[in-house]
Structures are given as structure tokens and as C-alpha cells.
Structure 1
Amino acid sequence: MFRSASLLGATLPMLLLGTACAQPVDGDLSSEAGTIRVETVVGDLSHPWAIAVLPDGGMLVTEREGRLRHVSAGGALSAPLSGVPAVETAGQGGLLDVALDPDFAANRLVYLSFSEGGDGGNSTAVARGRLSDDLSGLDAVEVIFSQSPKVDSSGHFGSRLVFGRDGNLFVTLGDRQSGAFRGEAQNLGSHIGKIVRIRPDGSVPDDNPFVGRAGALPEIWAWGIRNSQAAALHPETGLLWEIEHGPRGGDELNVIRPGENYGWPLVTLGVEYSGLTIGDGLKTAPDMVDAIYSWTPVIAPSGMLFYSGEAFPDWQGDLFVGGLASTALVRLELDGERVVHEERLLEPLKQRIRDVAEGPDGALYVATDEAEGRILRIVPAR
């Protein structure tokens, strides 16, 4: 439902909680769907990066420094779980996304993305292990994928993990924020600046678009990607949607189709951080896919969810995106592959929103990427 274009991007007022010198978090906020309540589920987290909701309403939460935590449905925070692979933590790197196997109830498999050190620098890697019955750690952990080549950089790891309907795993991979490697996003012989698709054991599906093509890595599903830290599967079409960070301007929402080129760095809606033009300044080009929506100034997108819960009936089918620079949970109303309305929630909290998830009760959960990070629960106010 399209409610009013005049409200696009509006900042919503918040009822002040606490003193002027304290940062209020818990309390009631206005939204276009009515008053919502924000509650802290758990604090004392250091830069939480991702949330995976467990069947019982608990969750697994990654902290960028390399810790994986269990949070019970009642909000109890565990000690760091054992079995997490060695993580190279620097800059944007560390322990990043976490995802549950589609058959988690039977196999208890958990997937982690992280920055992996090695010869030549570091890269995005994916590991999987079995969550122990007592929730204390991961067993039989193995690395199933490593981005190639490794780069001496601490930026643009991408790193979102999304399972397709067929059980194969999409992994978003950044361009590594290195001038020497920027053009690799257009090189099919490199994983840099790509989205890859692998089987749960890391092997390559036979129907990947570049299987058998000389000079192309068979894991590649899509290319020309800058740095995607937001991705989710569309509930009706089964297509992967992703949002990538623009440079100065030009965050892009894209619908990902196999074998397509999304342009970076030959095509971009942004400019260099210095203000200079990137390449030839192209905004579009033949044989390259245009974004369906963009943000300038950037929101710095991270985390993404198609909402399907009962708690907020007016929001069913909407797309939610975490905003780091915008300190907002961005809600997008859709008409097919078109964005028809935007609302920004949580802005008054001034928290960097790193990830968003949906609980079994339809509540929304967000991770705040702060030194004193939290998991917040969003429900209708009663």
C-alpha cells in the first residue's frame, strides 16, 4: 500500500526517555503503522554484525571481534561459543554473517562468514559446523569456501549468506576497497566484487552460469558488485535481492539474476569520496543491469529482510534494510520490482543498524553496530 510520497524519508519523533546526557533506546516511537515499542533484548555486545533466529525464538549473534554468542528467548547472553574459525580482525573484517542450514532442525548446521588471513593478505571465507546440543559451541567446523585472490586490505568483505529455495548458498563478496584490485569486479577469473553460489558443502552447482566457461570461476553467479552487506531472497519469486554500498552516493538495490553484470566500477551512481568522477562517469551501460532503487546521500545499507509476520499486518511484504550512516531501519513498500514508498524508523535512537531479522512471533529484531551494541526488539505498542 502506498501511503504518501510526502512522507518519504521522514524522521519520526520519539518520546524522550531519560536525561539529556543519556542516549535513550527503549521506549515508544511513532511510525506510519502506529506507535511501536523498542525493547532491549540483550546489551553488552561489541559490534554485533548478524542475527540468526533459532526455532525456539533464541538466536545466534556474531560479534565482529570474532565471538559467536547464543541469546536465549528470554534474553540470557552466553559466553562465547567454541569452535569459531580463526578470524583476522581489522577494519571492516572479522566474524561477520551467520546463517542456519535450511534443514537446521534435523542437522543443526550453522554457516559463518569471516575474514580469513593467508598468503597475500585476507579474503572472505565461509565455514560451517554443527551447533552442539548444549549450545556451547560448534563441532566439526570446516571452511567450505575462500574468496580468491587474497588482498592486503581491511575493507569491503561483503559477506551476506542467503540460502536459495534449492538449498544452495549465495555469498556476497566485496571488491576489497583496494585501488589495485578495483577492476577485478569485472574479471570473471576472480571472486572479487562477485556474488557466488555454492552447495552447502562448498562444491559448485552444475547450473551456475559460468560453469565450463574458459577463464571464469565456476562459483560466480553475478558480477560487477561493489560491496554488498544486505541480501535476502524474495518470498514470491525466489530471486536474490541485494543492496550494495555506493562510494559517495549511489547505494544500489538490485535484483540478482544469474550471469548478469551489475556494472561496478564501470557504471555507478556515485562519485569518489574526493568528489571526482569514477571512470568515465557512466550511470548506465548496455549489457549491464541498472539498480531498481538507490540512495544519495547513502544510507550505508547492512542487513535486509522481507517481512512476513503477523505482528505488523500493514508491513507484510515490505522490505526492511539496516542503515549504518542513516542510523535507521529503512522500510520499503514494493510494487513488484518497484519501490513505491520509503519510511525510516529508529532514526532518533542514533544507532548504527547492522542487521535485521524476524522472530517467530513476528517481532523485528535489529543489531546495533556499536562498541556497546545491542539486540533490539520492535513490536506494536500496547
Structure 2
Amino acid sequence: MANWSDLQHDMLGLIAQHLDKIEDYVAFGAVCKSWRAAATEKNFKGLRLWQQIPCLMLSAKDDFNREFYSLMKNQVVAKVSLPQLKGKKCYESQGWLLTIGQQGEMSLLNPFSGVEIELPNQNTFPEYDLYEMDPDIFVRRMVLSSRPSRESPEDDDFVVMIICGGVGSLAFWRPKDLRWNRIETRNSPYADVIYTNGQFYAIDHMGNVVVCDVFEANPNDQARIIARFSPELWDKKELYLVKSSSTDDEPFLVVTRDNIPNYEDEQGFELDKPIYGTTEFQVFELVSTAGREKEITSRWEEIKNLGSRSIFLGHSSSMCLQNNKLAPGIKPGHIYFTDDAWAAYVAIPEGGGKDMGVYNLEKGVTAPLYDAPLRLSRTCPSLWITPNF
């Protein structure tokens, strides 16, 4: 009897090219090592759409598998064996997961291709041991400059940027770096960071938007303020920085999220479990105008309607999708959000995952994200991921 694992690579590639559903492609790659080697981006004709529309990686039901939920199909479309995620915190960017273990170990993992890249441990940061930081909350955000290659990621020129530490500072890592590189700034703790137009942009909790070009010879000197978001506009709410679209001339968006946890009851007594939940989003657009002396001035204007755009927020890179990239099941003018209130849910034994939904910006109402029982996790609540192989 023929052994399916012995099929020639070219033949496997031809078979893979006839698969247009992500669930079939994941199953194809899970057969054996040789079949997984053929499950590449080049061979998956249906990948282009799936790379544009995030799936929801659900919190684990067991120690070995993770399920991926599609908003387009309103169902679980893939189940992947990922025992290496057991007990680990996860953040996502461009289809890759930053995983953090209980001993501070860190790595990048592509959950579909299985490629994993080891990163320096959190204990390489001086304050990690000094302040006895909890590994579950030491890192708050992660973004990639580009996707690592499948064949030789150690030779790529991608950059990993994180927000980390007790003061919420910026740090980055490049292949072959032995430790994380700190970006020294005098700004307050950072809230979010994105990569666009060849540079990293971050916003801190005082509303300062900075740009960091880590590809310069002396990157520690390259963080500079390019815009200020007035504290009066957000009043201590959670902040997200979002690129309005993929074109260079489109403005930034700042999204505010009102989900500040309440740790006391109405009488001022401390609660056993913090109460939190998102009540409102606001979206502001950075508008630049030319003055009398041809000086360019910028201001933030609130927008009440996203038009054809949809925004995705959570423990993933903040993302804005245009209507021409949307698919059935994705609603324009809505904000899709997952639970990222880490300071609150780490204090709850069952963890986080309940504060997620779909917010209609124009009407100011929230609907459930999907019709299924919620799964909670203290280490890795459900998060968005854009599949790639």
C-alpha cells in the first residue's frame, strides 16, 4: 500500500493549490512533515483574502489544541495542535504570536506553519528581577515590522517592537541581537505601538504620538514627538493608535476605550474581583492644515462614523480595514474588540475574555462578537490573528 507521506513535493504542491478553504489547508498541513512543507503561501490560492480578515484564536479548551473562529463563516474553521502554548501569554502581529512563558521565556510562533523563533528572556531587562515583575504582565503590546520568512527567519531583517516593564517603555529586537534594545524617551508609559510607512509609531498615556526609526545607526536617539493628543479628549481611557489605511497620505486614528476597572464598590470597600467592561469607544482623526505662513498645523477631530472602515482591537496589532477588503460577516463602521484589560483580569481567578464584542460607532451600541459560550483565560484570552503560512 502506498505511503501518502512519500508523495513528491511537486505533487503535494499541485494538490495544495486546489484547496481554497483555510480549514482544508490547515488539515492538509497537519498530515505530516512533508505535507506541511508543501502548505506554503505560494500554494494556498485562498490565502489572500484570509490574510486580510482576522480570525479569532479562541481561549484554549484543553492543553493541546487551539480553535480559530471565522467571522466570515460564523464558525470555527480550524483546529490546530499547539501544545507549546500551554500556560503562555500571547500577543499577535501579522499572523505571528509572541509567546511568554512563566519563567519569562519568549518566542515568536507561527501557529499555522509551526515555525518558532527564540527571543531573549524577559530577565534580560534589569527591572524584571528588580521589581519582581509578573511574566504575565511584563509585556503589554507587540508589533512586527514585517513577517519573518518560513525558510530562514534568522537571516531576515524584521524587527519586533514591544511595550514592556513597569514604566511601559519601548524596546525592540532584531535577528542575531543577544538582548532587547531599549528606546530611551522621557514620555509617560506607552499605550500602543504600530508599524507603518517604514517606521514604528507609538502613543503614550499622555497622548504624545512618537515615531521611532530603529533602522538608523543610533536608534535610541530616534524617538521624537510628531503629534499630541490632548488629555482632555480621552480622560484617562485606554488609547489605541491605528493607521487609517495602507496608503501613506491617510491620517492616523486614535481610538479611546472606556473600560477602566473598578476595584471598589459604591461604599469604597475593596472588591474581591475588579468590575470592568467596555462602555464606549471614541475615534479621533489627525487632521493637518496649512496656516497663513504655510506652516502645517495638526489637530485631532472626533469622527462619529467610520464609513466603509472597520477597526480591530485587542491583544493584537491594531488594524483598520477598508470596505474593498471586507468580506461577508464583517460590518463597516464597527469596532471589533477583544478583552485586553490585563490589569483587571489577572486579578480574577478565571481570567479574562468576557469584555469583547462589536461596537457600532454611529449608534453607540455593542453586540456580541459571536454566538457561543465565552471562554476565559488568565494567560491568553481570545485574540485576533491574520493567518499566514
- TM-score in terms of structure 2 length: 0.47
Q: Over alpha carbons, which structure has the higher Rg?
A: 2
